Amino acid sequence: MNIYLIVLLLLLSPSALAQDFRTPFKDCNLTGSITIYDYRHKKWIISDQTDDRRPTLPASTFKIINLLIALETGVITDEHTLVKWPGSTDTTLYGYRPDIYKDLSVKEAFEVSAGWAFIELAKKIGREKYKHYLTLAKYGNGNLAENGEDFWNFGPFGISPHNQVLFLIEVFEGKTPFSKRNVEILKKVMINPQMGTYTLRAKTGWTRVDGLDLGWWVGYIEQGKNTFFFATRVTKPRSVLNPDFGTCRKRITKAVLQQLGIL
């Protein structure tokens, strides 16, 4: 059984130590964990040590490294490269988010999380190049046995919250196997709406596996002289209706960051 354990390593005050990071998950009727790294103080804050190291499908958070690989391999020139929609132009055929089924720039596809666009890029990248760059970047468990193009949504490929954060730190530090130019493009694309004095770069993810809904929100917040990296992952049985599942990924993260005085 998972035991929620807050690792604060001298970072927090005694009052902060009393905070219970389980409450935001309970309020959303979800299970999961949040992993945070305080860059300036080199401190980890982990709500569940076991879940922190457990790999699962990255879902659309994979678009972060997918964008870098597409750039590095020359499949796309920059974030403005247009991805042609391969299907019908009759949007009435698509009941789910019909507005995304059209030609989109890579930047637009990232922002609206148009999975089809990144599947089109994956067809051009090829599995061998994925293996090459994922190994160099130390991203995920390396298992690309899934036959479908979107191995980040289905199959045995997986990444842990801890690994997600470590990769984001390397993006921030410019230590990935990708060019400085391509990393700077990614950083621009990842920017979420400005929040006061904070700059937030992040990506959501949502897939379904083994009868569960699996949701992510990963990214980092630049606040003055410090940067905080985070990876939040939540799950629920698909049989349990929860219309707030999508919004709760962000709600839980922001609640914990507020408890810590980061937001």
Active site amino acids? 60
Token readout for 58 is 């990255």
CA–CA dist 203, 126 (Å, integer): 23
Classified as helix, coil or strand, 203 is strand
Residue labelled with tokens 């990255």: 58
Nearest Cα neighbor of 67 from 82, 56, 78, 59 is 78
| Long-range Cβ pairs for the range 171-175 (8 Å, 24+) | 171/64, 172/39, 172/220, 172/227, 172/229
Residue labelled with tokens 């599942």: 245
Residue labelled with tokens 């990214």: 219
As beta bridge partners, residue 207 has 214
| Separation of first and last alpha carbons in the chain | 31
| Dihedral, CA of residue 149, residue 153, residue 154 and residue 159, to nearest 10 | 110
CA–CA dist 65, 139 (Å, integer): 9
